[in-house]
Amino acid sequence: MFSRTIQRWLVRIPCEQPQASALTGIPYAMAHQAQLSDRRHSSPWWISQTRVASLGVKILPDQVHLGYVLPNENVVYNVDQTDSGAILSKHAGNIYPTWLLDGKHVFGELKAFLFSNLANYESNLWISRDHIQKLGLSLCSDMEPFDPKLQFQGCEPMAYWNASSIKKSLLPKLENKWPRSAYTGRRYPAEVAFKLFREALEKDYTSVCWITRNTASKLNIKVRKEAKPVEVVTQLGPILLYNAEQTENPNLIYCFTVQNATLPRNAFTGMAYPQPMASQLLLCAARSSLPCSLYWVSKRDADIIGISIDDFDDDRCVTIKTEHETLCVYNANMTSDAKLVNYYAKKQLSKSLLKVHENCTIFVREPLDENFAEIK
């Protein structure tokens, strides 16, 4: 009887939506809920001053001094205090314009331009005219592209379509489906990826993982007898690839791909750390309050790369034991120049792969692009 009475009371209590970040959609800590609610804004969504600027959104002039200061000294504003409150509320949790095919955020001036056009769409996903043409996609006939007629990041002017312009039946086959190498875990460069993309659309594959017969045999996975490979041509020769669904164990190939994509790597050599060091570094990365790179560097190697040892904080050191010595390593994102460490590591990885696998086929993109290697 008592429990039923409690249930009736609970039904009558209005459930207010918690105050939350418009960027992530995650509610703020309980310690801030009451103070944010007391501001009496109609929207429960908040955004930091930094994020607002990157989207080309402006704080209303009479609201600039009315932000809420978080313990980390970051100032947040309710979306009602901006000139784009309707768009921010509508797309809360997914406010960044994102590329449909690979799930990456749009950057630079183009990000702000596409964001300003989100008011008319339910999706924050976008695709370029170039990608539509390469994939031979069908568009909704009544949809027109947004053509900013501007030159972004040194590229030619390009038209862009929102994902709502694509036929709904195709969207699940395209969203975040950029083909990946099972061997490296990385996305293929565009010239190879679009050929695999077209094959996946034609054969209705749902897996993003592609593998050579040789790598599959090393995993004791059989390629189906009727399976026909896709031949992709690189600068050093052809390579035959099979989709994971053309094998007898696509789930294992997926796990293998994810493992290779997330294994910590030595920035000096570019190669993955063996166990148990890999697990130790993964655990440290998971516990870190800062985003971590795949690459780790020792003080000794940092000197060679050109980063001052004095810039390091010993509290960020992780001690690992190799066969020959004990090393203190730092995540690339915890160094004085993360971009330089990542740049160096990716160059070294391409060299290491060629050295270790003398009979491999490898193609290389721009050194700052993370999606650059594949081995036969």
Residue-wise pLDDT for 237-253, tens only, equals 788 999 999 999 999 99
Long-range contacts from 287-290, C-beta under 8 angstroms, 24+ separation = 288/331, 290/333, 290/334
Structure token pair of residue 54: 């990157």
Q: Which residue has the tokens 């570094």?
A: 281
d(CA 222, CA 211): 11
Q: What is the pLDDT of residue 367?
A: 29
Q: What is the pLDDT of residue 203?
A: 94
Structure token pair of residue 124: 């924050």
Q: Of 210, 194, 202, nearest to 170 (Cα)? A: 202
Structure token pair of residue 72: 């980390």
Which residues, other chains included, contact 300 with Cβ-Cβ below 8 Å and sequence gap of 6+? 327
Per-residue pLDDT tens digits for 346-362: 776 655 444 333 333 33
Residue 272 is classified by DSSP as: B
Contact criterion met (CB below 8 Å) for 372 and 365: yes
Average pLDDT, the chain: 78
**Alpha-carbon dihedral 79, 56, 29, 293, rounded to 10 degrees:** 160
d(CA 269, CA 342): 11
Measured CA distances, 266 to 34, 47, 92, 241, 358 (Å): 46, 36, 38, 28, 20
Long-range contacts from 37-42, C-beta under 8 angstroms, 24+ separation = 39/68, 39/78, 41/78, 41/80, 41/81, 42/80
Structure token pair of residue 69: 């200061």
E strand segments, 49-111: 68-69, 75-78, 98-99
pTM: 0.71
Q: What is the pLDDT of residue 193?
A: 92
From first to last of its 376 residues, the chain has per-residue pLDDT tens of: 445 444 444 444 445 688 888 888 888 888 888 888 888 888 999 998 888 888 989 999 999 899 988 887 788 999 999 999 999 999 998 899 999 999 888 888 888 888 988 888 888 999 988 898 898 887 765 555 554 444 444 445 567 888 888 888 888 899 999 999 888 788 888 889 999 999 999 999 999 999 999 889 988 999 999 999 999 986 657 889 999 999 999 999 988 888 788 788 888 887 788 888 888 888 888 777 777 888 888 888 887 877 765 555 566 788 888 778 888 888 888 777 777 877 777 776 655 444 333 333 332 222 223 333 333 2
Structure token pair of residue 365: 């993109």
Strand 318-321 and strand 326-331: the pairing is antiparallel
Long-range contacts from 286-291, C-beta under 8 angstroms, 24+ separation = 288/331, 290/333, 290/334, 291/333
**Torsion sign across C-alpha atoms 240, 245, 249, 250:** positive
